[in-house]
Copies of this chain bind each other. A is one copy, B any other.
């Protein structure tokens, strides 16, 4: 039975002794067909294990259902938390999902968008920080503009705002400020920040919100060390901080992933958490509660963010202005942050 080809509707029709049109009608349930013919067609289709060619259908129907999701890495837990929600939401709507990882390569991101455009994807979702420079922005506009004006949908999560599309945005500034206030109320006064790349708006907001809250409390600004958004980055930033002589009582890592690296670095240097220094992160990715000590962080409703971005992308755009949905973060105090003795 090595047919070397897929079964076509024509074959089904022939096998059932009806015309192509009738076979199509039966399988789409689109019009009345005599029961006898209907049965014959259905029998033939199942006999031949017929599956319609989705491309032919897409071509004639001029529509396609795929939702494309682009992020930098599937195995990043921040991303996969969001992706989980998005995939669930897509599955509920019977939409196939196409996922791609850019591995932080702008070229690849553009290439994937182009590919999704070629497939006439129903929606494109961009998750996580992009590449915030001029050239990239121009390239993005060149891809996304025609896609949007051809009726495509684009929505982003946690991206900088220069893309003028529907957005799900964590309240980074408020979350970081609330975290700072919690840490202040634990008695901390000297802070250091393990920052992600300073050009990303997520970083700007998280660091900015944090510093702002410190300033409002009349506390000196935190020392900021910049590193990539990764476990490795957190590790490196922390090592740098330690080597120049740490004089803070509390570290704030702008993402949990960085905090994980920070924790490892601290341990390697024999610095105890939280006895010697407190540590807090941001995002509440699933692993951080299993660390020792469990990590204080700002919890983001990751799955819900994924669901929301799908909903945004698929909403009725007819009377549409751009919509921005802000997701509040809640401070979760765990054991990685210590209360400092009152008379400091």
Quick check: is A4 within 8 A (CB to CB) of the other chain?
yes
Contact residue among B1, B75, B81, B88 (Cβ-Cβ distance under 8 Å from A149): B1
A297 to nearest B CB, angstroms? 15
Contact A290 B150 (CB under 8 A): no
- The CA-CA distance from A101 to B86 in the complex, in Å, is 11
Contact B291 A146 (CB under 8 A): no
Quick check: is A25 within 8 A (CB to CB) of the other chain?
no
A126 to nearest B CB, angstroms? 16
- The CA-CA distance from A98 to B121 in the complex, in Å, is 12
Tell whether A56 pairs with B53 under 8 Å between CB atoms, given A87-B74, A103-B88, A260-B290. Answer: no
Contact A75 B2 (CB under 8 A): no
A64 to nearest B CB, angstroms? 7
Residue of B nearest to A152 (CB): B6
Q: Which of A102-130 touch B at CB < 8 Å? A: 103, 108, 112, 114-115, 117-120
- By a CB distance below 8 angstroms, the chain B residues around A33 are none
- By a CB distance below 8 angstroms, the chain B residues around A84 are 73-75, 101
B-facing mask of A53-69, CB < 8 A → 1, else 0?
A: 11110110010101000
B-facing mask of A64-97, CB < 8 A → 1, else 0?
A: 1010000001110100110110011001000011
Number of this chain's copies in the assembly equals 2
- By a CB distance below 8 angstroms, the chain B residues around A112 are 96
Most chain B beta-carbon contacts within 10 A, residue among A101, A103, A260? A101
- By a CB distance below 8 angstroms, the chain B residues around A287 are 260, 287, 290
Quick check: is A10 within 8 A (CB to CB) of the other chain?
no
A87 to nearest B CB, angstroms? 5
Quick check: is A37 within 8 A (CB to CB) of the other chain?
no
Contact B49 A142 (CB under 8 A): yes
- The CA-CA distance from A286 to B77 in the complex, in Å, is 11
- By a CB distance below 8 angstroms, the chain B residues around A290 are 231, 260, 263-264, 287, 291
For this complex, 11 residue pairs linking A to B, each with C-beta atoms less than 8 Å apart, are A5-B151, A6-B120, A6-B150, A54-B119, A55-B64, A75-B77, A91-B101, A91-B103, A96-B112, A97-B99, A263-B290
Known: A3-B150, A4-B151, A55-B59. 8 other contacts (CB 8 A): A52-B118, A53-B118, A66-B98, A75-B77, A84-B101, A87-B101, A91-B108, A97-B98
